[in-house]
Structure 1
C-alpha cells in the first residue's frame, strides 16, 4: 500500500493511535471498522455512518432516521463519549472504552463484561495506550470470531410482533466418547461469539458447540454432581448451578460454578455456595437471579444475597423454568402446578398469567436477546409456543411432536442461526429448529 494512505496500520513499529468518536457507527464497529455516525435509526436503535445508511435505507425505507442536526433527540446511551455515568453501574464514571466492542463503559465493566477483550483503554490517557494488559481468552485460530454477535444479529431488525414459522429441523449429537450415560441436557446458553454451551446433567459435564460447524463439540469440562442450568455472565464466561437433592427433595449441595473460556478451553474459575436450592439461573446487569422450585432470589456476582424476589408459600413445587426479558424488566416463570406461564416485573410483582390448551406442563422458556421474542415449551404437550413480550397472549404454536419434540426440558434461541435449540428428555442429540 502506498505511503500516505490512512489504513490505520502502525509505522516503524509504533502503536496506532486509538481514535475515539463521540458517536461511532455501530454497523462499521460490528465489522471491525471505526467510523463516525451521522445518523440514528429510532426503529433499529442503531447509529449509522453515511455509507451504512444507504444499505439501511434499501432494506428499511419507512424507518424513522434522525440526522446529526437532531442529536438532541438521540438517546443519551447512543453517545460514545466518556461523559456521565455508566448505564450498567450508575455509581461509576464512564471513563473507559472497549475498542473491540466500540463502546464506552466503566472500570467495573472492564473487569467483568470486557475482561476477555484485548483493546481496552482509558479515555483519560493520551496516545491510546492500554490501561490494562489483558490476556485473550477467546478461541485461537479458525475458531475465533468477532465479539459483536448480539449487534450483528440486530441487523435483521425483526420487530417484536414478528411471527416465526418453521423452515427446517436437524438433529446433532452432543455425546462424548467418554460419556458413560445417556445425555440429559438440562441447560443451554449462547456466548457472545455464537458458541453454544450445553449442560449434560447425567454425565456431569459442560460442553461447548460450534454452531457454524454442525454444532460440533470443541471443548468440555467436568463438573461435580449434578449441574442443572447455565447462563452467560460475560463475553467468555458462564455461571452453572450445581445441586444435589435427596429422595426426600432435600438439597445437600447448592453451588454456582463460574466457568471461563481460557485459551480456547472451558475452565472453572470460581465456586460460591448457597444456603438453598439453585436449579435455575439468569443474569442481568451484574446480578444473578437464582431459583429453586419455590423461590426466586437476587444475588450479587460475589454470592451475597440481596433479597427474595418471589416466593410460593403454598408449598407446591412451582418453578420449572425461569428466564428474563432481553431488557431485564420482566421475569418469566414456568409454573408446573398450574400449567401456566407467569410474567412478573423485575421486583417480583405479578403482571399477567398465560394458560393455553397447547401448553401442558410448561418446561422451558427462552428469549431472543436482540428482539425480545419469548418462547415457552410444553413437556407433556410436546409443543413450543411463541408468546408476546408481556406474556399476555400466544402468537403461534410454533412446533409440535411432528417437528421432533419429545418431552422438551430446555431451550435456547440461537440468534446467530435464527433457530431454536432444544434439549429433549434423556437424549444424546439436540434438536435445532430453523425459523424464518
Structure 2
C-alpha cells in the first residue's frame, strides 16, 4: 500500500501548501499563498503581493481572513470534494482505520501508519443503488424538520422565559416593597418611641432647671432681706435666720433628689436577629430549572431560635434485590425537587429515591461509597474511598430519573466526608480538612488533627460559609480560617458521626454509638433537644433536614431510612 501512495507521501512534506503562490510556481518554487486577487485569478505570497499591488492598484486582493471567498480558478477543487483542512486539495482517499475522508496531504501528514487506506472511486462503486444513500434525502428532510421544530420550540421557550422573568421580577419587587414597608413601619415606631422618651427626659430636665432657679431666687431674696435688717435688732435677724435654714433644708433635699440622676440619657441596643435573619438567606426565594422532574420548592417554617420536637416517625425500606449485604447508608442529601440521594457503603451503590422514599434508580461505584453532598441543581458529589488504592470524588447528575456519572476527581489522601459551599469543595480525610476548587485544585489544608485516625469525620457548613462543623468523638466548631471556636461533648451521646446544618441555621447531630439524634445550637456549644433515642434509630450515620416536608431523614446501618416528623 505504501508504494501506491509514494508520490502522495512525497507531496506531504513541509513544502506542500493548501494554496501555492502563482508567481513563485512559474519560477519553479513552492511558496504558501497568503493573498488572492479576484481580477488576476491568481495567488500571491507575502513577497510577491507588494509587486502585484504596485502594478495593479485597483485590483481587489483578499487575505487569509477571507479565504472562504477566494474564487475557484481552473483546476481548483469543487466545494463538495474540497478537503476542509487543505482547501487546495481534493478528497481522493478514505482511511478505514479512522473512518475519515482524506486528501493526499492528510494521508502524508496524519495517516502514514494507517493500513486501511482506499481510493474513493473504489469505495464509491454502486453508491447510487445503496438503500441508505437513496434514503438520504428523506432522512435529511426529516432531520431538518426536527431541527426547525426544535428551533421554533426554543424561540417560543425563549419568549416564555422572558415573560416568566418579568413575572418573577415583579414578584421579587413586590416582596421587596412589602419588606420595605415593614422596615419603614419598624423605623417609624422606633423613632416615635425615641421621640417620646426624649420628650419625657426634656420635661424632667426642664422641671429640674425650674426648681434650681426657684431655690436660687429664694435663697438670694432671703439673704438680701437678712442683710437689710442688720440694724433692725435681733428679732428680725432671728426670724430671717430660721426661714433661711428652712429654705436651705428644702434646697438640699431637692439637690439630693436631683443627684440620684447624674445624667439624663437614652441608649439603643439593636435587635441582632433582624440582621442575622436577613443574612441567613441570600435570595428572595428559590429558583428551580424547569427541567427538574419535580418543581416543588423548599420552604422554611422555623425561625433560627426554634427548638424542635418529634411528632412521630416512619421507616422506609431502601434495600434492592441486587444488594448482597445489609444496607450501610453512609450519606444522604436532598435535591431541589424533593428527591433523596443516599450512598450504600456495604453494597457500593448510590441510590436515588423519589419523594415517597422509593428507590427509583441506582448506580454502582468501585468499592466504598461514603458521604454524598449536593453541589447544585440536580448534581451531587459522592466520596468513593478504597482506603489504599483509590480515593475519588464522583460527580453524578440526575437526568430524567437516572443517575449519570459525569466526572471524577482523584486525591492523594482519603476521601471520607464532603461538603460544598460557594465555589469550593471541603473534603475530610479522617485526620484533616482540605479545601479544593471545583476543578480539583487544592486551595489549602484548613484543619488537621494527628492525635488519632478518626479526628475529622463528617462536615457541615453554615449557610453563610463562616462556620464549619466537624465530628469525631466530639462536635468541633471552626471558623472559615480553621480556628477552633468551640468543642462540645455531652453525656447523652456516644460517637457523634453525622452532622447537618440547615440553611436557616439549625444544627443536627446523630450519634452512632448511643443511637441518638440531637439538635445543637448554631454555636456548637449547647444541646437543645434529643429528638430520637434508640426507638427506630439503629447506628445512625448521616442525617438531613428537609424543610420541604418538615422532616429529619436519618440513615444508618439498616435496610430502612428513618423519617422523623418534627415541629
Q: TM-score range by the shorter chain?
A: 0.5 to 0.7
Is 1:357–2:491 an aligned residue pair?
yes
Is 1:239–2:239 an aligned residue pair?
no
Contact 1:358/1:378 (8 A) holds in 2: no
Residue among 326, 345, 351 paired with 2:463: 326
Residue among 202, 210, 220 paired with 2:362: 220
Is 1:281–2:431 an aligned residue pair?
no
The equivalent residue for 1:84 is none
Is 1:308–2:445 an aligned residue pair?
yes
Contact 1:375/1:384 (8 A) holds in 2: yes
- 1:49 Cα shift? 8.9
Normalising by structure 2, report the TM-score. 0.52
Work out the CA distance in 2 between the residues paired with 1:242 and 1:396: 33
Q: How many residues are matched?
A: 323
Work out the CA distance in 2 between the residues paired with 1:387 and 1:170: 23
- 1:101 Cα shift? 5.6
- 1:431 Cα shift? 0.7
Stretch deviating more after TM superposition (325-334 or 266-275): 325-334
Is 1:421–2:553 an aligned residue pair?
yes
Work out the CA distance in 1 between the residues paired with 2:336 and 2:528: 28
The equivalent residue for 1:265 is 402
- 1:278 Cα shift? 0.6
* Higher RCO (C-alpha under 8 Å, 6+ residues apart): 1
SS of equivalent to 2:457:
strand
Deviations 1:317-342 (A, max 9, x none): 21232211122211111122xxx211
Contact 1:39/1:65 (8 A) holds in 2: no
SS of equivalent to 1:18:
helix
Higher share in strand: 1
- 1:65 Cα shift? 4.0
The equivalent residue for 1:15 is 159
Contact 1:320/1:362 (8 A) holds in 2: no
Contact 2:416/2:428 (8 A) holds in 1: yes
Work out the CA distance in 1 between the residues paired with 2:179 and 2:449: 51
Q: Tell me, which stretches of 5 or more residues in structure 1 are unaligned?
A: 1-9, 41-46, 54-63, 79-86, 89-97, 103-113, 119-135, 246-250
Change (3 A) 1:265 1:418: same
Is 1:433–2:564 an aligned residue pair?
yes
Change (3 A) 1:348 1:18: same
- 1:257 Cα shift? 0.3
Work out the CA distance in 2 between the residues paired with 1:375 and 1:276: 27
Deviations 1:15-42 (A, max 9, x none): 3472598xx8xxx85xxx95352454xx
Instruction: Indicate the structure (1 or 2) with the bigger Cα radius of gyration.
Output: 2
Work out the CA distance in 2 between the residues paired with 1:384 and 1:294: 24
| 1:284-299 aligned within 5 A | 284-299=421-436
Higher share in helix: 2
Work out the CA distance in 2 between the residues paired with 1:239 and 1:176: 22
Is 1:346–2:496 an aligned residue pair?
no
The equivalent residue for 1:173 is 317
Contact 1:36/1:49 (8 A) holds in 2: no
Contact 2:488/2:524 (8 A) holds in 1: yes
The equivalent residue for 1:83 is none
Is 1:209–2:353 an aligned residue pair?
yes
Work out the CA distance in 2 between the residues paired with 1:389 and 1:349: 16
Normalising by structure 1, report the TM-score. 0.67
Work out the CA distance in 2 between the residues paired with 1:231 and 1:13: 32
